[in-house]
Amino acid sequence: MSEQAAAPPVAGHGAASLTSVVIDTYNAELRDKDGFIGDRASKKAFWSIVETWRDRLRELGDEDPIGEEPTEEVSKRKLEKLLQDERPEVAALIHGMVEDFAQELAGVTRRFLKLKGWKDTQRIAVGGGMSGSRIGQIAIARASLLLRAEALGLELVPITHDPDEAALIGAAHLAPSWIFAGHDSLLAVDIGGTNIRVGLVELNLKKKDLSAAKVVGLEVWAHSEEEPSREEAVKRMAGMLKKMVALAKSEKRMLAPFIGIGCPGIIEEDGSIDRGGQNLPGNWESSRFNLPRALVEHLPEIGDHATAVLMHNDAVVQGLSEIPNMQDVERWGVLTIGTGLGNARFTNRG
C-alpha cells in the first residue's frame, strides 16, 4: 500500500476547520461524582425513566398499560400508540416519561452551554435514534421550551434527516472540493456503539450546497448483537462498502474514490482514535490500529483511482448534515442521543 493511498485528502482526519464550518469543540466529556453527565440524556437513560415509572405503578398496585414485556423489549412505537390512548391516565403516564427525559435533556444542555466552546450557541440539532420518533420529537420540543423560557437565546430542533441517514449525508461535507468535479456520489460509513451503517450517497449538486444530497443505498449491521472482534468488524465493514461499490456500478453512477467516516471518539490527524471508542468491538484505541488505513487495504481503489478516506467524530459528521439548515445562525451545535450523548459545536465560516 502506498503512502499516497493511505494519506487523508486535503484536511487531516478529525480536522478543526472544514470548508463550511469551524468545529469549535466535540466529544466533550462532562463528569460529576455520578459519572458522565451526558449519559443522563442517553438512550439508556430514557429507558431507565420508563422502567422507573413502571416500578411506581407496580408499587401502587396499578395496571401497567405497557403490559408484561420487559422494558428492554418495549418499542418507541408502542409508547407512541399509548400516547394516543383515549384513557387520559394512560396518555398522562407516557407524557410523564417524556417530561422526565426532557428535563434531563434540558439540564444536560445547560451544562454544555457553560463550556467555553459552547458559549453563545444559538441552535442545537438533536440527532440519534430518538430524533426520528414522535416520543423523541416531543421530548426535544419540551426541552427547547424549557430553555427558551430561560431567555438563553437557544432552541433545540430534531435533526432533519432520518437518524439512519444523517451521518451518511454529513460525510459528504467531509469531502474535498475535487470530489465534486466529475462525480455524482460517494461512500459513507456511520459507526456507532450499537450499529454500523454503510451508505451510497447521491450528491445532487445542482444547488452546489449538498442540501439535496440523499442516501440511495443503505446497509445496517447491528454489530452489538454479534460481538465481533475488531478485525471481523473491519472485514464486515469493507464487505458492506464493496456492496455499495457494486450498486453504484450497476446504476452507472460516477462514484468518487472517497469514503467519509463518522466514528466515536477523539479522532487524531493520522486517523487513530485517542479515546472514546470504548463501545466499539475490540480495542479501537490501540496505537497499532488505524481504521482508514485498514479500509484502504481492503479497497485500495475505487474505479481507476486510489481510495481516499477521511474520518471524523460521529457526532461531528451527523451535525455536518445540518449545514444547509444552519445558514441563518452563526454558532450552532449537535447532540446525538445514542449509547452515550455525542456532541459537537460549530461556527459557520464566511
- Asked whether residue 282 is assigned to any structural domain, the reply reads yes
Question: Where in the sequence is the domain holding 174, given as residue range(s)?
Answer: 3-23+163-348
- Asked whether residue 156 is assigned to any structural domain, the reply reads no
- Asked whether residue 227 is assigned to any structural domain, the reply reads yes
Tell me: pLDDT of 59 over 60: yes
Q: What is the mean pLDDT of residues 294-308?
A: 92
**Domains: count for the chain:** 1
- Asked whether residue 126 is assigned to any structural domain, the reply reads no
Q: What percentage of residues in the chain have a pLDDT greater than 70? A: 96
Most confident of 25-34, 85-94, 224-233: 85-94
- CATH no. for residue 322? 3.30.420.40
Picking from 152, 75, 86, 150, the residue whose alpha carbon sits closest to that of residue 333 is: 152
The b/e string for 206-220 (b: 16+ C-beta within 10 A; e otherwise) is eeeebbebbbbbbbe
- What's the pLDDT at 4? 41
- What's the pLDDT at 7? 42
Tell me: pLDDT of 135 over 50: yes
Mean pLDDT in the chain?
Answer: 90
- Asked whether residue 149 is assigned to any structural domain, the reply reads no
C-alpha cell at 189: 460509513
Q: Are 237 and 243 contacting, i.e. CB atoms less than 8 angstroms apart? A: no
- What's the pLDDT at 94? 96
- Asked whether residue 58 is assigned to any structural domain, the reply reads no
- Asked whether residue 344 is assigned to any structural domain, the reply reads yes
- What's the pLDDT at 208? 67
- Asked whether residue 72 is assigned to any structural domain, the reply reads no
